[in-house]
Amino acid sequence: MQVQAGAGPAGNGLGNGQAQTGARTGGTRARPPGKARGQPGQLLRWHDGCYEVKGREVTLTTELKNYNGDGAYVAIYLTDAKGRYQDILWIAGKKSKYYKHLKDWARGSRKQRAEYDGKTGASLTSGHTLTTTVDLDDALFDAGYQLRLDTAVEDQRDQRAEVIAPLTTAGAGQPVAGRGYVKSFTYQL
């Protein structure tokens, strides 16, 4: 079974599955041209009286191992080269009371609702695959940023930074094995 995600409302994160590369973002003529931010991590460019997103669509695929237990909560997030939290891309698992078990993400985001609103879906069960599409700024690639995954399963061990995948153009399509519940994680440009 494969779960498709990423069609939530516009939020404040990098990937909501809606903005397309080069799509108009509803900019205003009242703002002066220059650097601006839409969603964190997305730089906007002034063009023809509106701001436009500079970035690319990235497909994230997370395949879980077969394990005994309930569905896994999975946080997919972006960090800088030193591992400092930057933004959430997707959370599999809708009950926010369990987000504290996604420890590195919870610490970095402070579990603020604005961080994950519109970027959540059902938990992921044993042996299944989650595929979500996000928009990432071109400047994030080959600049030391990392994609990380935290996982947690009820009554089992929480996995901090179970997957750490450097965000590089060369790393696209290369599977990264997890240390706990994740069989493989890949991102495609």
Distance (Å, rounded) from C-alpha 153 to C-alpha 98?
Answer: 10
pLDDT tens for 105-125 read 989 887 777 777 778 889 999
CATH of 2-10+57-188, one of 3.90.320, 3.30.390, 3.30.70, 2.60.40: 2.60.40
Say whether pLDDT at 133 is over 60: yes
User: Which of 187, 186, 181 has the alpha carbon at shortest distance from 162?
Assistant: 181
What mean pLDDT do residues 7-13 have? 35
Distance (Å, rounded) from C-alpha 16 to C-alpha 24?
Answer: 15
Neighbours of 127 (CB within 10 A): 12
Beta bridge partners of 155: none
Distance (Å, rounded) from C-alpha 40 to C-alpha 44?
Answer: 10
- What CA–CA distances, in Å, run from 165 to 13, 91, 172? 19, 17, 10
User: Which of 25, 167, 144 has the alpha carbon at shortest distance from 82?
Assistant: 144
pLDDT higher for 20 or 184? 184
Boundaries of every domain in the chain = 2-10+57-188
Give the pLDDT score at 117. Answer: 75
Neighbours of 51 (CB within 10 A): 22
